[in-house]
Amino acid sequence: MMLSCKDVTQLISESMDHSLPLGKRIGVRIHLLMCRFCERYERQLLLIRETVRRLAAVGETPEGLFLGALSEGARERIRQSLRSR
């Protein structure tokens, strides 16, 4: 079955949260080889993720807005507690 661009955008997002089953992964890769827009979409989502992570990492900036809410220590603590389960 051929994946539409709509399907592929959903799967690109999903692949950022868990690893897709092999069949879907291959379907997406083949689609991306042929579709400039979806390929761009994936690149842009990854850029947004990377930017958000770096923003979170520099959360100390005075204009940190939404990211300044939690201190790095607090954030790390919550993260580690969750990991250690």
Residues engaged in binding another protein (CB under 8 A): 4-7, 9-10, 13-14, 16-18, 36-38, 40-41, 43-45, 47-56, 58, 63, 65-67, 69-70, 74-75, 77-79, 81-82, 84-85
CB of residue 27 to another protein, shortest distance in Å? 13
- Dihedral (Cα; 70, 56, 67, 83), 10-degree rounding: -40
Residue 13 or 25: the one with the smaller Cβ distance to another protein is 13
Nearest-angstrom CA–CA distance, 15 and 17: 5
CB of residue 1 to another protein, shortest distance in Å? 12
Nearest-angstrom CA–CA distance, 60 and 41: 30
